[in-house]
A and B are shown apart, each in its own frame.
Chain A
Amino acid sequence: MTESLLEITDLAVDYRTGRRTWTPAVDGVSLHVDPGEFVSLVGESGSGKTTLIQGALGLLPVAARIRSGTVAYSGVDVTGFNDRRMALVRGTYVGFVPQDPNTSLNPVRRVGAQVQEAVPEKKREAALESLRLAGLEDVERVFRSYPHELSGGMKQRALIAIALAGQPKIIVADEPTSALDVTVQKRILDHLVSLRETLGIGILLVTHDLGVAQDRSDRILVMNKGRIVDEDHEYTRRLFAANPARQPAREPRPAGGRVVLRATGLTKEYGTLRALDGVDLAVREGTTHAVVGESGAGKSTLAGILAGFAKPGAGTVHVGDRELTGLNRKQLREVRRDLQYVFQNPFTSLDPRFTVRRLIAEPLRAYQLPAGDRVTELLAAVSLDESFLDRLPAQLSGGQRQRVAIARALALRPKILVLDEAVSALDVSVQDQILKLLTRLQDERGLSYVFVTHDLGVVRLVADDVTVMKDGAVVENGPAACVLRDPEHDYTRHLLDAIPGVKL
């Protein structure tokens, strides 16, 4: 029998929550990864998956302790190893690919030096070879570059190169692609799979995205509340059901209808960079218009101009009959009542010192409107009860925060909401709930949405129309059902191919 590369037995990790009180984060988890195996560990935020990985790598924060259980690499029990001994294990037995490539490389040092450091004997040739192995081309240039000179995908490959540099037997990757575009995600994950085949190493992929796990894994482990739950468990089924690829598409609605928001020939330049290049867009009343594209496509620039936060270089935006682009500050303020914005990150878009009550009442105060029962009414509209009124954002989960942000956007009874990646920072099941909430609010209130996203999988669930963007220009637009079923442009097809979890 071959020995497992990583064997975790009955591991329990606690966090200190008081002087003598400890709260379990991981509670009796056992798992193993064998040579050449690709195992996925799926769980939502708060499920304890990151703590488990930190425990396995000996990187637990000071406030955490291992209560019981063991971690063994190739049969060697490393539980209780101190930093110095653990340093010999990390890199050589186990390589680690972190979550966010944008913060995981030292910004003031060249990439090459950072890879070279991880190579045995610190040889330059070996570092270049490692970069090549991670699937990078033009490795000499990458070697000399600083992290900010590389794209997100290239940075993640450099980090994979670092993980591979010590020729480890197993690679642990913690959400390695959640900060990347779907097409890049696909390439990176495919590369990890190929590494498993060529090098015979084991891979433990940690992800919140079941779709990602389903496409490639030999085994999937689902984690919930610090434990691994089995396939028939109610939670597992719920998680599978929340996968966008498993959801029914939005019922198509009749074409036509009045246009409430229209952009014509928008351009915007930042220095020499053309962020928008003649973009047209029309949003019909009571419908959702999705704007899809990868990072750098100009979606956020477009959303900012539509909401009146930025002025276009050329072109016009009409809200109803009013032209937004020529308005002065005061007139713009009036239009803002009809046109509200929901930001991507609910962790930064809410003032941490405001209570939920104050946050939702803020737009009303700004327009000197009486709050009255409006706040509780809005809270009810986003399915939160009154017990939330006096809580602070820090006491809310990501999904609850985004609900508060939506309630705030609805406070002035707007007709149009611009949703800028409003569900991208959320877990799949929470994302599913928020999307349902948005659809219900739309039906009840006749709202029109501009839904900016990088995720075509989500578009299918909410959009009536879709505009696909690339490098600041519109590649393709039309009714969502037609574009998704029968894309005309290669780029759209390319994006569709990259959606995880559809192969089932």
Chain B
Amino acid sequence: MTGVARYTALKVGRALFVVWAAFTVTFVLLFVLPADPVDLLFDPAELNAIPPEVKEQVAANYGFNEPVILQYLNRLGHALTGDFGSSVQSGKPVTGAILEVLPSTLVLASAALVLATLIAFGIALAATATRRTWLRDLLESLPSGAVSVPVFLSGILVLQVFSFQLGWFPAFGDQGWRSLVLPLITLAIPVAGPIAQLLVRSFTTEFAAGYVTTGWAKGGTRGGIIVRDVLRNASLPALTIAGVTFGNLIAGSVITETVFARRGLGRMTQTAINTLDVPLVAGIVVLVAATFAVINLIVDLIYPLLDPRLRASLTAGVAP
């Protein structure tokens, strides 16, 4: 097997493992650890009023009276075909319910990632390009500021200013692109923080590298050196963190979608947890894990394309 094929197989294998592990952990947490998983299916307030026969009946329906290992294999088998059972609340199939809201969240999360990356690059480039120390210090302090602002606070703030006072964008809903703007900004700002921090640091490190001196000696200008030489080297580490951040974005969408009353995976998660909709929660967790795994797989596969050294070590058959 060639190095490239082995690398790809390794990364794909890792992605599959992550999804499987998420499924298994979710199964243990939701179906094995609770003393009686049937209890989770009912409203706690009414739990004592439910006759035992009914519970029996429900347990049999869900297969809770079978041995754990059989339940696990059964659910795993179904999950492989994309079947996570039915939502307790709505009775609709979990997969269908998730797929219905998924696009809206994916659009929000991807757009937020793009915006966050742009903000981060903007800060890092400006901080590197400027010759004024005070401006650089100011720019470099922005990321930690962005990280420290909680999403619900910045969300409400943004709503207050741009929607209620200025009336530029609708306060909530999911109709048209205008409704996307405020949630997008709210979600992107805290995520831009860590990416920008990393980028500022790697831009600073790379700007002190030997090839930058060579660039100056060639008669290069500051802007030219940053764009031609520093940018690509400094971006490599940010790629990894951007992949990891995508997970945070999906988590962040729980609050954002609640604040802005948008339909989406985040809000569905919140409802599912509030109503103890166990199959739906399980389905969402596995799906988020799968999304996460795919994004990171893409990042891993893009890496060798951007870094010729990694490409060389792959074709030479040496483990990276």
Contacts and interface: CB of A to CB of B under 8 A. Distances in A.
B is a partner of A? yes
Interface string A218-262: 000000000000000000000000000000000000000000000
B56 to A, nearest CB: 58
A106 B233 contact: yes
Contacts of A98: 210, 213-214, 217
Nearest to B209: A103
B306 interface: yes
Contacts of B222: 83
Interface stretch (A87-95, A367-375, A449-457): A87-95
Contacts of B229: 106, 109
Interface stretch (B268-276, B281-289, B310-318): B310-318
A148 B133 contact: no
B236 to A, nearest CB: 8
Nearest to A84: B221
Contacts of A91: 217-219
Nearest to A118: B218
Size bin of chain B's contact surface: 20 to 34
B13 interface: no
Contact of B217 (A88, A96, A270): A96
Contacts of A162: 214, 217-218
A349 interface: no
B211 interface: yes
A504 interface: no
B92 interface: no
A89 B232 CA distance: 27
B196 to A, nearest CB: 22
A117 interface: yes
Contact of A57 (B211, B217, B233, B318): B217
Interface string A55-95: 00101001000000000000000000001100111111001
Contact of A148 (B211, B233, B312, B318): B312
Given A83-B222, A87-B219, A91-B219, A105 B312 contact: no
B307 interface: yes
Nearest to B230: A106
A100 interface: yes
A311 B309 CA distance: 27
Contacts of A270: 318
Contact of B233 (A88, A99, A108): A108
A379 to B, nearest CB: 34
Given A83-B221, A87-B221, A107-B233, A149 B211 contact: no
Interface in A112-130: 114, 117-118
Contacts of A114: 211, 214
Contacts of B309: 107-108, 146, 148
Interface string A148-172: 1100000000010011011000000
A12 to B, nearest CB: 22
Contacts of B233: 106-108
B237 interface: no
A194 interface: no
Contact of B307 (A59, A92, A95, A108): A108
B178 interface: no
A439 B233 CA distance: 46
Contacts of B318: 270-271
A104 B308 contact: no
Given A108-B307, A148-B309, A149-B312, A166 B218 contact: yes
B232 A108 contact: yes
A121 to B, nearest CB: 13
Contacts of B173: none
A374 B233 CA distance: 48
B217 A95 contact: yes
A166 B219 CA distance: 9
Contact of B218 (A83, A99, A117): A117
A364 B218 CA distance: 52
A149 B236 CA distance: 20
A88 B316 contact: no
B211 A103 contact: yes
Nearest to B231: A108
18 contacts: A83-B222, A87-B216, A87-B221, A95-B217, A96-B214, A98-B213, A104-B211, A105-B211, A106-B215, A107-B211, A108-B233, A108-B306, A108-B309, A109-B232, A148-B312, A149-B312, A163-B217, A271-B316
Given A87-B219, A146-B308, 17 more contacts: A59-B217, A88-B219, A91-B218, A91-B219, A96-B217, A100-B210, A103-B210, A103-B211, A104-B214, A107-B307, A108-B233, A108-B236, A118-B219, A148-B308, A149-B312, A166-B219, A270-B318
